[in-house]
Amino acid sequence: MGETNAYYFSLSGKQAFSELSDEEKDILDVVIEKLGKMSKNEIINFMHKEQAYVETAPRDIIQFKYAESLQI
Query: What pLDDT is attached to residue 45?
Result: 95
The domain in which residue 28 lies consists of 22-69
DSSP alpha helix (H) spans, the chain: 22-35, 40-47, 51-54
Q: Give the pLDDT of residue 3.
A: 65
Sign of CA dihedral 60, 61, 66, 71: positive
User: What is the value of pTM for the model shown?
Assistant: 0.65
Query: Is 54 among the domain residues?
Result: yes
Residue 5 lies in a domain: no
- Residue 6 forms part of a structural domain: no
Residue 1 located in a structural domain: no
Residue 3 lies in a domain: no
Q: Domains in the chain: how many in total? A: 1
Q: Is residue 14 part of a domain?
A: no
Is 9 a domain residue? no
Q: What is the residue-level pLDDT of the chain in tens, covering all 72 positions?
A: 556 777 777 888 888 889 999 999 999 999 999 999 999 899 999 999 999 999 999 999 999 999 999 988
| CA separation for the pair 2, 22 (Å, rounded) | 38
pLDDT for residue 56:
96
CB 16 within 8 A of CB 25: no
Determine, yes or no, domain membership for 38: yes
